[in-house]
Amino acid sequence: MSAGPVTISVFITLFAAISSLGFLATRWKKADLSQLSEWGLAGRRFGPLLIWFLLGGDLYTAYTFVALPALMMGAGAFGFFSIPVSVISFALVFVVFPKVWTICAEGGFTTAADLVEGLYGSRTLALMIAVTGILATVPYIALQLVGLEAIFAGIGLNATVHLFGFDIELPLFVAFAVMAGFTYNGGLRAPAMVAIFKDILVWITLIAAVIVIPAQLGGYGAIFDAVPAEKLLIASSPPDSLGPHFAYFTLALGSALGLFLYPHTLTGLLAASSRDVLRRNAIFLPLYSIALAFLMLLGFMAIAAGVKDMPEFAEGFARFGNVFAVPALFNHMFPEWFRGVAFATIAVGAIVPAAIMSIAGANLFSRNIYRAYIDPKCSDGKQTQVAKVFSLSIKVGALGFVTLLPNTSAVQFQLLGGILMCQTLPSVIVGIYLRWLHPAALMVGWLAGVAAGISMAASTGFTNSLYTLEILGISIPCYSAVSALGLNLLITFAASAMLRVTSKDREIRLQGGA
Partner 1 sequence: MAERRGDRRVKWLTLLLVVPCLAVLCVPIYNFDKPRIFGIPFFYAWQIGWIGGGALITWLVYIAVWKDRDV
Residue ranges binding partner 1 (CB under 8 A): 77, 80, 83-84, 86-88, 90-91, 94-95, 98, 219-224, 232-234, 236, 245-246, 248-249, 252-253, 274-276, 279-280, 282-284, 286-287, 289-290, 293, 297
In the bound state with partner 1, the residue whose beta carbon lies nearer, of 123 and 231, is 231
Distance in Å, CB of 433 to partner 1, minimum: 14
Cα separation values, 58 from 61, 121, 158, 188, Å: 6, 30, 28, 11
Could you tell me the smallest distance in angstroms from the CB atom of residue 445 to partner 1?
24
Distance between CA atoms of 439 and 445, rounded to whole angstroms?
10
Cross-strand bridge partners of residue 477: 468
Torsion angles phi and psi, residue 92, rounded to 5: -65, -40
Give 3-state DSSP helix, strand, coil % of the chain, rounded to 5: 80, 5, 15
User: Minimal distance in Å, beta carbon 147 to partner 1?
Assistant: 24
Nearer to partner 1, 274 or 468 (CB): 274
Provide, rounded to whole angstroms, the least separation between the CB of residue 511 and partner 1. Answer: 24
Beta carbon of residue 89, minimum distance to partner 1 (angstroms, whole number): 10
Nearer to partner 1, 280 or 395 (CB): 280
248 or 390: whose CB is closer to partner 1? 248
272 vs 98: CA distance, rounded Å? 10
Residues contacting residue 254 through CB under 8 Å, at least 6 positions apart = 418, 422, 479, 481, 482, 485
Compute the distance between CA of residue 90 and CA of residue 175 in angstroms, rounded to an integer. 31
**In the complex, minimum distance from the CB of residue 333 to partner 1, in angstroms, rounded to a whole number:** 18
Closest CB to partner 1 among 60 and 248?
A: 248
Judge contact between 58 and 225, C-beta under 8 A.
Answer: no
Sorted by sequence, the CB contacts under 8 Å of residue 311 that are 6+ apart come out as: none
The DSSP secondary-structure symbol of 236 reads: P
Q: Are 359 and 366 in contact (CB under 8 A)?
A: no
Task: Report in angstroms how near the CB of residue 59 gets to partner 1 at its nearest.
Answer: 14
In the bound state with partner 1, the residue whose beta carbon lies nearer, of 224 and 436, is 224
Under DSSP, the state recorded for 365 is I
| Residue 111 CB neighbours (<10 A) | 29
Comparing CB distances to partner 1, the nearer of 105 and 389 is 105
Tell the smallest beta-carbon distance from residue 83 to partner 1 (Å).
4
Which CB atom, from 4 or from 84, has the smaller least distance to partner 1?
84
